[in-house]
């Protein structure tokens, strides 16, 4: 195997890992503050990708031709729409189910995901066809020794990593992060100490959805394609990552995402003929991992009061 090939694999693996990590962190946040398996997360992400794509369409006509300005506007549109949708989901469909059976919350988020997905497929113009997402970053190559990598790829990886690090800092260092951690640890005590529970849940959903928008942007800019069914697979991968890392644990979610991406890359090395088989391989390994270590690699908090 030559070094160029290896480097290409490493780079595409890193992109995947960053996207998955952004999704998985959202899942783990939702589990932390509300103990909800929010399956609509993936389709909220897809909605964000379509919002960004839609925002791009009229830009050239409006005279905005600078790729940088376009990128900024598209990102703002995507993040805003995603956060708005995430907040709607949290406020009207998840918060009212406080105390309802877990099955009901799970079913609601699954069906909401379907509503969003089908809504885009049916009502977006030609919604069932893939849309080509614009390449807004410089696409020329840089050479590091024998390795040729596209500039946009490197920028996306670093942007993604920076967002993840910033999120970690937000959770660990700020008052908002402290409130999230307090609620995740013990909701009742946190309330008694004056934490506004609803606000924290909504904040966590806004944060998680914003991260999903970032994942959507990175995904769109790297693959130059968005389609209505992308959210489902990302949701499953993100959630699996969160589980194998240890639910409710940010570092675990990131670790899980990197493991998943790594497995897909290994799978594609052995089965280069089809990416779908490498997905099957990655899921099979993940299922074995879950069976072996159901509470995750970095243990989750488990305490049931009997």
Partner 1 sequence: MTNEAPLFESRGLSKRFGGLQALADVSFSVRRGEILGLIGPNGSGKTTLFNVVTGIYRPDGGAALLDGREIGGLRAQAIYRAGVTRTFQRCRLSTELSIFDELMIGAHKDLDLGFMANILHRKAFRAAFEEKREQARSLLAIFSAELAQRMFEPIARFPMIDRRRIEICRALISRPRLLLLDEPSAGMTHDETRQLMDDILETRRGNPELAVVIIEHEMPVIERVSDRCVVFNYGRKIAEGSYREVASDPQVQEAYLGTRHGAAA
Partner 2 sequence: MSVTTRNGMRDRMFAAFALVATTLLCFAFGRALLTVNDERIVVALLVTLAAGIVLAERRVTRAPDSALVRGAVSTAPAAVLLAIVALILVFHANHFALLLICTLLIYVTVALGLHLQFGYAGVLNFAGAAFFGIGCYTAAVLTQLAWLPHPVVMVLGGVFAALIGLALLPPVLRTRGHYASVVTIAFGVLFTTFLEINETFGGAQGMHVAGLSLFGFDMTRNIRLSPGVTLSFYFGYAVVALLLAVGAFALVTRIERSWIGLTLDAVRLDETRSACFGIDLARWKIFAFCLGNFIIGVAGALFGMLMSFIAPPNFSFSASLMLVAIIILGGIGNRWGVLLGATLIVLVPERLQTIQEYRVLLFAALIVGLLLIRPNGLAPRRMRRYFGEGSA
Give the residue, chosen from 67, 272, 294, 299, that forms a contact with partner 2 under the rule CB under 8 A: 294
Four-point Cα dihedral 269, 271, 274, 280, nearest 10: -100
142 DSSP 8-state letter? E
Count the site residues for partner 2 by CB under 8 A. 43
Judged by beta carbon, residue 44 or residue 74, the one nearer partner 2 is 44
**Residue 37, number of CB atoms within 10 A of its CB:** 19
List binders of partner 2 among 94-123 (CB under 8 A). Answer: 96-97, 100-104, 106-108, 110-112, 114-115, 118-119, 122
Judged by beta carbon, residue 146 or residue 291, the one nearer partner 2 is 291
Q: How far is CA 124 from the centre of its chain?
A: 22
What are the Cα distances from residue 78, in Å, to 74, 97, 303? Answer: 6, 28, 38
- Residue 247 contact among partner 2, partner 1, none, beta carbon within 5 to 8 Å by kind: partner 2
Told to check if 303 binds partner 1 by CB under 8 A, we report: yes
Judged by beta carbon, residue 192 or residue 306, the one nearer partner 1 is 306
What are the Cα distances from residue 249, in Å, to 40, 168, 243, 291? Answer: 20, 11, 9, 19
Told to check if 287 binds partner 2 by CB under 8 A, we report: yes
Told to check if 169 binds partner 2 by CB under 8 A, we report: no
Q: How far apart are CA 108 and CA 88, in angstroms?
A: 13
Judged by beta carbon, residue 184 or residue 226, the one nearer partner 1 is 184
- Least Cα distance to 286 among 269, 305, 302, 262 occurs for 262
Residue 122 burial by Cβ neighbours in a 10 Å radius (0-12, 13-18, 19+) = exposed
User: Could you tell me how many residues make up the chain?
Assistant: 306
Residue 229 burial by Cβ neighbours in a 10 Å radius (0-12, 13-18, 19+) = middle
- Residue 303 contact among partner 1, partner 2, none, beta carbon within 5 to 8 Å by kind: partner 1
Using the contact rule CB under 8 A, the part of the chain among 183-191, 251-259, 262-270, 283-291 near partner 2 is: 283-291
Site string for partner 1, 247-286 (x = CB under 8 A): ----------------------------------------
Q: Under a CB-based contact definition with an 8 Å cutoff, are residues 201 and 95 in contact? A: yes
Q: How far apart are CA 214 and CA 275, in angstroms?
A: 24
Told to check if 233 binds partner 2 by CB under 8 A, we report: yes
Q: How far apart are CA 146 and CA 149, in angstroms?
A: 10
List binders of partner 2 among 245-274 (CB under 8 A). Answer: 247, 274
Q: How far is CA 127 from the centre of its chain?
A: 22
Told to check if 29 binds partner 2 by CB under 8 A, we report: no
Contacts of residue 177, Cβ cutoff 8 Å, sequence gap at least 6: 170, 171
Q: How far apart are CA 245 and CA 257, in angstroms?
A: 8
Using the contact rule CB under 8 A, the part of the chain among 5-13, 142-150, 151-159, 298-306 near partner 1 is: 298-306
Judged by beta carbon, residue 146 or residue 306, the one nearer partner 1 is 306
Minimum gap (Å) between residue 280 Cβ and partner 2: 6
Told to check if 306 binds partner 2 by CB under 8 A, we report: yes
For partner 1, the binding residues (CB under 8 A) are 303, 305-306
For partner 2, the binding residues (CB under 8 A) are 37, 39, 93, 96-97, 100-104, 106-108, 110-112, 114-115, 118-119, 122, 232-233, 236, 239-240, 243, 247, 274, 276-277, 279-280, 283, 287-288, 290-291, 294-295, 302, 304, 306
């Amino acid at each position: 195997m030559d070094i160029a090939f290896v480097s290409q694999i490493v780079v595409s693996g890193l992109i995947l890992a960053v996207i998955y990590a952004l999704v998985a962190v959202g899942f783990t946040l939702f589990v932390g503050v509300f103990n909800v398996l929010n399956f609509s997360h993936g389709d909220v992400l897809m909605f964000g990708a379509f919002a960004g794509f839609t925002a791009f369409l009229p830009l050239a006509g409006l005279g905005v031709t600078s790729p940088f300005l376009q990128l900024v506007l598209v990102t703002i549109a995507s993040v805003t729409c995603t956060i708005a949708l995430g907040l709607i989901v949290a406020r009207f469909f998840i918060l009212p189910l406080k105390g309802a059976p877990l099955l009901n919350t799970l079913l609601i988020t699954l069906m909401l995901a379907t509503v969003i997905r089908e809504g885009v497929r049916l009502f977006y113009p030609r919604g069932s066809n893939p849309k080509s997402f614009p390449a807004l970053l410089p696409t020329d190559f840089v050479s590091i020794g024998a390795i040729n990598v596209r500039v946009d790829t490197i920028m996306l990886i670093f942007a993604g990593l920076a967002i993840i690090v910033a999120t970690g800092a937000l959770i660990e260092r700020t008052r908002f992060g402290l409130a999230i951690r307090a609620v995740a640890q013990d909701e009742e005590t946190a309330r008694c100490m004056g934490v506004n529970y609803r606000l924290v849940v909504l904040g966590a959903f806004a944060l998680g959805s914003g991260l999903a928008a970032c994942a959507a942007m990175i995904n769109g800019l790297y693959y130059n394609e968005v389609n209505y069914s992308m959210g489902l697979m990302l949701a499953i991968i993100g959630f699996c990552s969160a589980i194998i890392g240890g639910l409710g644990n940010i570092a675990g979610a990131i670790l899980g995402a990197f493991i998943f991406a790594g497995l897909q890359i290994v799978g594609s090395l052995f089965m280069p003929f089809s990416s779908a088989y490498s997905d099957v391989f990655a899921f099979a390994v993940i299922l074995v991992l879950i069976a072996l270590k159901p509470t995750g690699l970095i243990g989750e908090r488990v305490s049931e009061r009997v």
